[in-house]
Chains A and B, each alone.
Chain A
């Protein structure tokens, strides 16, 4: 009797769990499913009759139109160049700094580390006006360097990688030292390979954050050729043709690269992002 009761109760709990998961998944997925579905419909189909999610006569015509209507490929290229450059640059600057903070002794180390950490408290907007003026003075408006260089260092990365470096067993480092290895060798051959999971986390995270950047590219680019995806897509909806199905086809196209990065990088993101802040 008792066993039966608890079985019932388990079933009911299981049902509630499944239902809640389903509702939440619907909330997350619905806008995206809607985007994909509508991008496959003709304008007539979308506007005639009741709204529906499954296209009756799926067509790729909107994709062709979207690619014609706006230099989408160019936008994607721009974003890819900027995101890859920022990611690689940040990995280099952050890992070098992290190595210094983790293993090198120098005067003012703790103070400087504190200064680095406190930069995480400065919202980037605080720097945006002087940075804009700097970029104007350097004549970097509408250039890749204007989009890339200001983001080549980030304290979060330094912090995350320092934590990862500190996990390296001391014997390994001592052995390298006894062998007379230089710090640069130790950095490149021991620290970097050992911290590969943290580097992957930081890389995926930085790529996505840069890919999704909005305010800075909006301010410093005006030439359509230099627009990044996010600004370009925003402009799509204001354009005269403003056929929704075409706009959404454009959205699907520009979503693909970041989706790919998420698919391959999700494993690194989970648990990795907070490893620096919350352990050790």
Chain B
């Protein structure tokens, strides 16, 4: 009963009025209880499905497990040593790096061009935005099926197009030299919608007067972009960069559906490798070690981006 009283600390109580003038009062017990109640739902979910698993991953990564996930024996750092000396794992690390390098800058630059130029158009804004945002509604599953058909060497339209130009067929997904490029192309398309939405939102936040006055001063499109839009958009670009790099390190669905990591491991990205280790081979110990190395990578990369780039970001 006491706690149910405590959750409504001010309801209808005479002290509530007297409290108005006492803003500096440190912490009232009732308020702390209310806070706990408000936080409880998210705290429970975080604890069970995020905090506990995080520590459980650390524990598992130091052990050998059976296929049902039960700990067999303590192996110390063996799992880490095993994956970090495994050429297969190191290969997947390199593939993921290349994948991020191919997809992240390309997506951001294309979305930036689209966001900047679409603001120059006076009419049909809503339609233009909808078109560019479209991939946001396409999931990795559906997107992969569509592109899988476009890439198809015999019936796919991409090769038909090349043929019309007199170029030979490209084995988009089965040629080790092309596979990562092809998967990246599909990923750029898939992520374009989100990037565009973020950047167009940033463009909208730029005051129209600033824009007009630059134009009256005779600024061309390039100087408008270089001296007004780019600096004012830098927080959005920075946000997008951090989010996109993390996203690229987590790529999975398109690989699972299009190439299964092949051909010759050319597209064996990090999370796909982790998926095989844990959910095909049921090695949860090494799988957890991989998951934690991924966490460390995300952490280091994100902090590095903050250190190197945040100084250049111009916050309004």
- The answer to whether A131 touches B49, judged by C-beta atoms less than 8 angstroms apart, is yes
List, sorted by A's number, 29 A–B pairs whose CB atoms are closer than 8 Å: A27-B192, A28-B134, A29-B131, A31-B143, A38-B149, A47-B155, A51-B160, A93-B45, A96-B42, A104-B32, A107-B27, A109-B35, A112-B39, A116-B46, A127-B291, A129-B291, A131-B53, A133-B284, A134-B48, A149-B49, A178-B17, A183-B10, A215-B271, A234-B256, A251-B142, A262-B137, A271-B202, A272-B201, A274-B236
- The answer to whether B41 touches A96, judged by C-beta atoms less than 8 angstroms apart, is yes
Which residues of B are at the interface with A, using a C-beta cutoff of 8 A? Answer: 7-13, 16-17, 19-20, 26-28, 31-32, 34-36, 38-39, 41-43, 45-46, 48-50, 52-54, 56-57, 60, 68-69, 110, 113-114, 117-118, 120-121, 128-150, 152, 155, 157, 160, 189, 192-193, 197-198, 200-202, 204-205, 220-221, 235-236, 239, 246, 249-250, 252-253, 256-257, 271, 274-275, 278-279, 284, 287-288, 291-292, 294-295, 298-299, 302, 315-316
Interface check A92, CB cutoff 8 A: yes
A98 CB to closest chain B CB (Å) equals: 9
> Quick one: closest A residue to B26, CB to CB?
A105
Give the A interface residue count (CB, 8 A): 100
Interface check A126, CB cutoff 8 A: yes
Q: Which chain A residues border B12 with CB–CB below 8 Å?
A: 180
> Quick one: closest B residue to A53, CB to CB?
B157
Most buried by A among B28, B46, B68, B189: B46
Most buried by A among B10, B284, B288: B10
Q: Which chain B residues border A34 with CB–CB below 8 Å?
A: 146, 150, 157
A-B pairs under 8 A by CB, number = 308
Mostly, the B contact residues are helix
Give the docked Cα–Cα distance between A28 and B140 (Å).
15
Give the docked Cα–Cα distance between A133 and B41 (Å).
22
List the 9 shortest-distance A-B pairs measured between CB atoms, nearest first: A230-B141, A212-B139, A127-B53, A130-B53, A271-B201, A153-B45, A214-B253, A182-B11, A130-B56
Q: Which chain A residues border B31 with CB–CB below 8 Å?
A: 104-106, 183
Residue-wise interface mask of A (243-280) relative to B, using a CB-CB cutoff of 8 A (1 in contact, 0 not): 01001100100110011011100100111111001110
Q: Which chain B residues border A185 with CB–CB below 8 Å?
A: 11
- The answer to whether A182 touches B8, judged by C-beta atoms less than 8 angstroms apart, is yes
A84 CB to closest chain B CB (Å) equals: 16
A24-B110, A121-B299, A183-B34 known; 14 new pairs, CB 8 Å cut-off, are A25-B128, A28-B134, A34-B146, A109-B35, A123-B294, A132-B69, A177-B10, A182-B9, A183-B8, A215-B271, A233-B142, A254-B142, A262-B130, A269-B197
> Quick one: closest B residue to A35, CB to CB?
B146
Q: With A107-B32, A152-B41 in contact, do A230 and B253 touch (Cβ < 8 Å)? A: yes
Most buried by A among B41, B142, B150, B294: B142
Residue-wise interface mask of A (214-257) relative to B, using a CB-CB cutoff of 8 A (1 in contact, 0 not): 11001100000000011101101100000010011001001100
Which residues of A are at the interface with B, using a C-beta cutoff of 8 A? Answer: 13, 17, 20-21, 24-25, 27-29, 31-32, 34-35, 38, 46-47, 50-51, 92-94, 96-97, 99-100, 104-107, 109, 112, 116, 119, 121-134, 136, 149-150, 152-153, 155, 158, 174, 177-178, 180-185, 187, 208, 211-215, 218-219, 229-231, 233-234, 236-237, 244, 247-248, 251, 254-255, 258-259, 261-263, 266, 269-274, 277-279
Instruction: Please tell me which one of the listed residues B48, B121, B295 contacts residue A21 in the complex, with CB atoms under 8 A apart.
Output: B121
Q: Which chain A residues border B200 with CB–CB below 8 Å?
A: 270-271
